[in-house]
Amino acid sequence: MSDPTAVDTGWTWYRPMRARSTEEQVRSSTELELLFDLCFVIAVAQAAAAFEHEVVAGRIGHGVLGYAMVFFAIWWAWMNFTWFASAYDTDDVFYRLLTLVQIGGALIVAAGAARALEDSDFVLVAVGYVVMRLAMVAQWLRAAYSDRERRKSSLRYAVGILIVQVGWVIVAYGIIPDLPVAFAVLAVGELTIPPWAERPARTTWHPQHIAERFGLFTLIVLGETVAAAAAAMRAALDTDVSFADVASLSIGGLVTVFAMWWLYFAFDSPSQLTSLAASLRWGYGHYVVFSSAAAVGAGLTVNIAEATGHVEISRTAVAAAYTIPVALYITALALLRRASKPSRTLDVVWLLALLGLLGCTFADDPVLFTGLVTAALVAAVVTDLQRNTAR
């Protein structure tokens, strides 16, 4: 007997936006979702490049604040689409066109990232963000029209998003002068929409699908980190720098990124998406996972730039630009994993690794030593997992 909540994924002009079943046996990422990710990572790359520019120029605090705000726009729009698509991907023409609008908004954010970080001009970023969010309002209204059982939840999403967008427009055009405070208030407003909207009736997102989507985006962000470092390495070698001068940077950077990948996929992510509260905690925690992963590439680029003498900050600050993002990444992973599978042994291992990474900031070769610390962490985690499996 066929599942009445299953969705025919064949292409069509129009299909009622009914909730997909959480019991679907095979719920993998679609080609449109993969295209969506690739376009969004362009915005990630631009934000990371602008952040690297600010650090190299010595405007570290200014760069960190701007990067955090721009990345919030990228991450939150991406995450909202991902969660919505898991429950209501009808793949008809209207769905595809609204997804195209969101992709266009992401590219607008990408175009405005450098201006936002360098000149504190967030108008273009805000325009792109509002474009993406208004497209989501249209999607939620479609869901409210077709899915009567969850109509109240869909309407709450649409109304909540629409109200907060008015605030973003006001802030972007300087009507409220204190940007950091206004940003914090509006960000909290955005974060409170899902728990409020899901209260009447939970939308039917698929745990395996969500875990796969987040994992794929993590892969893409890590890939962008490698690509940015490779471009910086090539630029350095085009000067009078020899490969011997940057060999430890390339080895340490590659080992670090590989270890970051291994640590992320060492645990079963779907098992952590057992409830709304756990899922929100897991999804919100990925803001740090994604933003720190992208910042690792920027930090490695800063260290490569130091080898060519093109930095205006201290040696310690150069090292910290790399070690702190890695430390934030493993801390976020440790907290996310601990929420589902507490382990005193792993708690100690993660803590020692964190202290080791912070100590790498003062090492003679911080990138290489960071690679060694993260590799040791992988070895300890794998050993602990194998020991537990054998029991």
pLDDT tens-digit series, residues 199-224: 999 999 888 999 999 999 999 999 99
Lowest mean pLDDT among 135-149, 240-254, 285-299: 240-254
Residue 14 located in a structural domain: no
pLDDT-derived band at 391, boundaries 50, 70, 90: low
Last residue of a domain, one of 136, 166, 197: 197
- Domain shared by 239 and 193, yes or no: no
Give the long-range contacts of residues 350-354, CB within 8 A, separation 24 or more.
350/377, 353/377, 353/380, 354/327, 354/330
User: HSE (CB half, 13 Å, CA atoms) of 371?
Assistant: 16
More confident residue, 109 or 274: 109
Determine the residue type at 188. V
pLDDT-derived band at 390, boundaries 50, 70, 90: low
Q: Is 364 left (phi over 0), alpha (psi -120 to 50) or beta?
A: alpha
Residue 73 located in a structural domain: yes
Residue 5 located in a structural domain: no
- Domain shared by 228 and 155, yes or no: no
- Domain shared by 245 and 165, yes or no: no
pLDDT over 50 at 7, yes or no: no
Residue 297 located in a structural domain: yes
Residues 276-292: what's their mean pLDDT?
A: 94
What mean pLDDT, rounded, does the chain reach?
89
pLDDT over 80 at 63, yes or no: yes
pLDDT-derived band at 65, boundaries 50, 70, 90: very high
Residue 3 located in a structural domain: no
Tell me what pLDDT residue 324 has: 96
Instruction: Classify burial at 59, counting beta carbons within 10 Å of its beta carbon; exposed 0-12, middle 13-18, buried 19 or more.
Output: middle
Nearest CA-CA partner of 148 in 20, 17, 24: 17
> For residues 74 and 47, is the Cβ–Cβ distance under 8 A?
yes
- Domain shared by 152 and 269, yes or no: no
- Domain shared by 240 and 384, yes or no: yes
pLDDT tens, position by position, 221-280? 999 999 988 888 888 787 777 777 788 888 999 999 999 999 999 887 777 788 888 899
Tokens of 321: 């630009």
More confident residue, 153 or 388: 153
Q: Rounded to an integer, what distance in angstroms lies between the CA atom of residue 230 and that of residue 136?
A: 36
pLDDT tens, position by position, 324-360? 999 999 999 999 887 766 677 888 989 999 999 999 9
Q: Domain total for the chain? A: 2
- Domain shared by 293 and 312, yes or no: yes
- Domain shared by 329 and 224, yes or no: yes
User: HSE (CB half, 13 Å, CA atoms) of 251?
Assistant: 11
Tell me what pLDDT residue 238 has: 78
Q: Which residues contact 266 (CB under 8 A, 6 or more apart)?
A: 378, 381, 382, 385
Q: Which residues contact 383 (CB under 8 A, 6 or more apart)?
A: none
Residue 345 located in a structural domain: yes
Lowest mean pLDDT among 5-9, 156-160, 292-296: 5-9
Tell me what pLDDT residue 186 has: 94
Tell me what pLDDT residue 338 has: 78
- Domain shared by 282 and 193, yes or no: no
Tell me what pLDDT residue 244 has: 76
Lowest mean pLDDT among 55-59, 170-174, 190-194: 170-174
Tokens of 100: 């195209």
Residue 107 located in a structural domain: yes
Q: Where are the alpha helices (DSSP H) in the chain?
A: 31-56, 60-88, 93-119, 123-146, 151-172, 179-197, 207-237, 243-264, 276-307, 315-340, 344-360, 366-390
Residue 12 located in a structural domain: no
- Domain shared by 234 and 159, yes or no: no
Residues 283-293: what's their mean pLDDT?
A: 96
- Domain shared by 214 and 247, yes or no: yes
- Domain shared by 165 and 236, yes or no: no
Q: Which residues contact 177 (CB under 8 A, 6 or more apart)?
A: none
For 314-376, the DSSP string reads -HHHHHHHHHHHHHHHHHHHHHHHHHHS--HHHHHHHHHHHHHHHHHTTSSSHHHHHHHHHHH
Tokens of 293: 């992963």
Q: Which domain holds residue 57?
A: 31-197
Angstrom distances, CA of residue 92 to CA of 2, 14, 29, 147, 327: 21, 5, 16, 16, 43
In percent, the amount of the chain with pLDDT more than 90 equals 65
| Eight-state DSSP code of residue 15 | -
- Domain shared by 213 and 192, yes or no: no
C-beta atoms surrounding 245 within 10 Å? 14
DSSP-derived 3-state class of residue 28: coil
